[in-house]
Amino acid sequence: MGISKMKLKKTIIGCTIALLAFSAAGCTTKTATEETPANETASSTPAATTATTDATPQAAIDPLAKYDPPIEITAVKKISDGTKYLNGDSLESNVWSKAYEEALGIKIKYLWTAPQAQYEQKSNIAIATADLPDVMEVNVTQLKKMADDGQLEDLTDVYKQYAAPFTQEILASDGGNAIKSATFDGKLLALPQMGSGLGQTDVLWVRSDWLKKLNLPEPKTMADVLKISEAFTTQDPDGNSKADSFGLGMNKDVADGAGNYFAATEGFFNGYHAYPNIWVKDAAGKLVYGSTQPEMKTALGKLHELYAAGQIDKEFGTKDAGKVKEAANAGKLGMLYGYFWNIGAGWLQDGKVANSAAEWTPYAIPTIDGQPANAQVPFAITTYFVVKKGAKNPEAALKMLNLALEKNYGKTAEPEKFNVDKDGTAVFSYALLYGEAPRKNLDAYLHVTSALESKDASQLNAEEKGYYDNSLKFLAGDVNFYGNYKMYGPLGSLSVIDGYSKNKTLMDDQYFGAPTTTMTQSNSTLKKLQIEAFTSIIIRGKMEEFDQYVTKWKQLGGDKITEEVNTWFATQK
């Protein structure tokens, strides 16, 4: 499943944590395309594409053909938090490295690896010194720099020739924006790591057993949320006769836009029609930055009121998502905004296992004024796979991506071998190139709920069958599969996201281009400015600080960025 950044970055961090919630994960996305068997062999020289005579048809290229003799490519790799190897495996010898060699004739030589927190710095040094491997993962800022410096192989024709039909289907499934974001001056210079923006929308998680105990209504409006927050703080919902619970959980990274996936504030802001960190259209049809709009000021003022009333932890500014999770599972929090997979193993499910009476229920984002709240949808592509200019076999990257998508999600998928094994190990993280279809989780929910209703799982793919089986285990009394059911069951969190999709209550990020020149220069400064200003406003309640923030944002590059973004936007019409 996904979750993608599951972040793993924004998109992969969500995917990773959600996948670890179940042992039977993996995926087989349905497609009308039948892929060529991966064990078919071919020459290490790319298949011929030029006819010898006008009468000879052009030879077709097998997108999964094996190099014979084998080839070696160099790479570097980010090692995600929590990565582990079993049964004597290692990065150099595991199910994916063996598949590359046995199915594709590709041996990978890793020049270096780095933990997730250190990868960006180390890869920045490699880029600055031009000490590059054949294939590497980069973020969007690094992609722009490498494109500007002429360090990247043009993959335009390679993609046309070697991208399998199923790969093309997935990479085009967002309407083509992912490919556009990797295209510079008409040249495809990277392969986007696909993920789900829809899967990064917020839902409101509520301790519904506390609602019942205190005879409170379900949250349909922001007024309900505020009333519930006060009651959860002041009316001893856990029954321990202590004033030790908080109405709303919140982490220290206030709307920082970087994988703020648990105890976030984006959903709260959306309830006030405010959209931090994304670009939205104003009344004149121009793009404006959501974090600087007046609706943000209103929502920040309300968060200050909750903070001042003791409904938000006074120490929220020092607590990351993991610390807030601990508080939630200890029965100290009544509500929080976050991703659909926040209920999975390692997250809120742990509190359910510890206290079977705890009941978390997901709700659509409530609104302040009766108008539907639109859940903001970030542009899902934040990382890319690139090939250095002059690499001997640039098509090898496409072949590895073809294999990854096919064996994780295609017709020949083997999820317990290549995605998450029976012990819950995230085997997919061993792959050099990876991605997932944007609607994969939502479609799985629709299929699983239909199967649960009909009691017929015959039409489910491998991943969906795992969710179905785990749901049945929960319904039979195994609380260890609570999270699975609360995502993929009839009233699970994905049902909320399905509602967003069907009701069109979504606010998409309107900018999906490469970082502009001024973004590259100023984004880190502007992000720090935003977090400091928002945190200060919530704690101190001095609303003039918001106006000061907007003025500084404009002066420190925001006005120039807005101009650049709108210049880009004009070319998209």
386 near 152, Cβ under 8 Å?
Answer: yes
Residues 141 and 51 in one domain: yes
pLDDT tens, position by position, 363-379: 999 999 989 999 999 99
Contact 104, 350 (CB under 8 A): no
- In angstroms, the Cα distances linking 218 to 369, 371, 437 are 17, 18, 33
Which segment, 116-120, 218-222, 569-573, is predicted with the most confidence on average?
A: 218-222
Residue 8 pLDDT greater than 80, yes or no: no
26 pLDDT above the threshold of 60: no
Q: pLDDT by residue (tens digit) across 296-346?
A: 999 999 999 999 999 999 999 999 899 999 999 999 999 999 999 999 988
At 213, list the tokens: 């105990």
Q: What is the pLDDT of residue 21?
A: 39
Q: Is 253 left (phi over 0), alpha (psi -120 to 50) or beta?
A: beta
Beta-carbon contacts of 15 under 8 Å, excluding residues fewer than 6 positions away, are 1, 2, 3, 4, 5, 6, 8, 195, 436
45 pLDDT above the threshold of 70: no
- Tokens 């929590």 belong to 82
pLDDT of 437 over the 90 cut: no
Q: Which residue has the higher pLDDT, 462 or 554?
A: 554
* 189, 154 Cβ separation under 8 angstroms: yes
Residue 495 lies in a domain: no
pLDDT at 23: 34
Residue 459 phi, psi dihedral angles, 5° rounding: -95, 0
Same-domain pairing of 369 and 514: yes
**Cβ 466 vs Cβ 24: under 8 Å:** yes
Q: Is residue 53 scored above 70 in pLDDT?
A: no
Give the contacts of 132 (CB within 8 A, at least 6 positions apart): 126, 151, 388
Whether omega for the bond prior to residue 192 falls within 30 degrees of 0, making it cis, is: no
The per-residue pLDDT for range 440-479, each reduced to its tens digit, is: 899 999 999 999 999 999 998 878 888 999 999 999 999 9
Contacts of 121 (CB under 8 A, 6+ apart): none
In this structure, of 28-32, 138-142, 483-487, the range with the lowest mean pLDDT score is: 28-32
Confidence of residue 358 (pLDDT cuts 50, 70, 90): very high
- Among 430, 459, 494, residue at a domain's last position: 430
462, part of any domain: no
Q: Worst-scoring range by mean pLDDT, 27-36, 445-454, 494-503?
A: 27-36
Does the pLDDT of residue 74 top 70, yes or no? yes
In this structure, the answer to whether residues 366 and 416 fall within a common structural domain is no
Between 496 and 50, name the one with better pLDDT.
496
Residue 2 is assigned to a structural domain of this protein? no
Q: Can you tell me the mean pLDDT for 548-556? A: 98
Alpha-carbon torsion, ordered 169, 170, 171, 172, to 10 deg: 50
Confidence check: pLDDT of 158 > 70: yes
Would you state the pLDDT for residue 52?
34
pLDDT at 356: 95
pLDDT band at residue 258 under the 50/70/90 scheme: low
Q: Give the pLDDT of residue 382.
A: 87
Token pair of 147, please?
A: 């494109």
Do 327 and 426 sit in the same domain of this protein? no
Strands 183-184 and 187-188: antiparallel
Question: Which parts of 428-492 fold into alpha helices (H)?
Answer: 440-454, 462-475, 482-488
Rounded to an integer, the average pLDDT of 114-118 is 89
Question: Which residue segment(s) compose the domain that 371 sits in?
Answer: 200-377+509-571
Residues 171, 227 within the same domain: no
Residues 269 and 415 in one domain: no
Tell me: do 357 and 300 sit in the same domain.
yes
C-alpha distances out from residue 57 to 3, 40, 49, 53, Å: 43, 21, 9, 8
- Collapsing DSSP states into helix, strand and coil, what is residue 419? coil
Domain count, the chain: 2
Tell me: the pLDDT tens digits for 86-99?
Answer: 888 999 999 999 99
Separation CA 437–CA 28 (nearest Å): 10
Give the Cα separation of 86 and 317 in Å (integer): 38
pLDDT in tens, 374-414: 999 999 898 999 999 999 999 999 999 999 999 988 888 88
pLDDT (0 to 100) of residue 518: 95
List of residues 6+ apart from 539 with CB closer than 8 A = 304, 307, 317
Q: What is the CATH number of the domain that holds 130?
A: 3.40.190.10
Domain ends where: 407, 430, 453? 430
Answer yes or no: is 14 within a domain: yes
DSSP reduced 3-state for 34:
coil
Instruction: Look at residue 171 and tell me if it is in a domain.
Output: yes
Both 190 and 277 in a single domain?
no
What mean pLDDT comes out for the span 13-27? Answer: 37
Q: What is the pLDDT of residue 551?
A: 98
- Of 413, 430, 447, which residue sits at a domain end? 430
Q: Is residue 467 part of a domain?
A: no
Percentage helix, strand, coil for the chain under 3-state DSSP, each rounded to 5:
45, 10, 45
- What residues contact residue 416 under an 8 Å CB cut-off, 6+ apart? 24, 26, 422, 462
Pair 134, 205 in one domain: no
**pLDDT of amino acid 17:** 36
Are residues 170 and 22 part of one domain? Answer: yes
| Between 84 and 204, the higher pLDDT residue | 204
Give mean pLDDT, residues 251-265. Answer: 81
Task: Give the confidence band of 50 by pLDDT, cuts at 50, 70, 90.
Answer: very low
Helix (H), strand (E), coil (C) string for 364-400: CCCECCCCCCCEEECCCCCEEEEEECCCCCCHHHHHH
Question: Are 18 and 151 in the same domain?
Answer: yes
The answer as to whether 484 is a domain residue is no
Dist CA 18 CA 341 (whole Å): 5
What does the alpha-carbon distance between residue 100 and residue 106 come to, in Å, rounded to a whole number? 5
What rounded mean pLDDT belongs to the chain?
88
Residue 458 in any domain: the answer is no
Do 520 and 396 fall within a single domain?
no
* Residue closest to 291 by CA, chosen among 319, 261, 265, 312: 265
Give the range among 286-295, 430-439, 534-543 with minimum mean pLDDT.
Answer: 430-439
Burial 209-230 (b: 16+ CB within 10 A, else e): bbbebeebeebebbebbbebbe
